[in-house]
Amino acid sequence: MKFLNKNVMSKTIEVQIDKSLALIKGYKKNLEELSKRGITSASLDSMEEDLKALKEANDECDAIRKQLAEKVKKMNGILLRVKEDYQEKKKVVKGYYPQEEWQKYGVPDKR
Model pLDDT for residues 18-29, shown as the tens digit of each residue: 999 999 999 999
pTM above 0.85, yes or no: no
Q: Are 102 and 93 in contact (CB under 8 A)?
A: yes
CA 51 – CA 5 distance, rounded (Å): 15
Q: What is the pLDDT of residues 24-60, one digit of tens each?
A: 999 999 999 999 999 999 999 999 999 999 999 999 9
Q: State how far the Cα of 80 lies from the Cα of 57, in Å rounded to an integer.
A: 34
Pick from 22, 27, 57: nearest CA to 42: 27
Q: How is 45-79 classified by DSSP, letter by letter? A: HHHHHHHHHHHHHHHHHHHHHHHHHHHHHHHHHHH
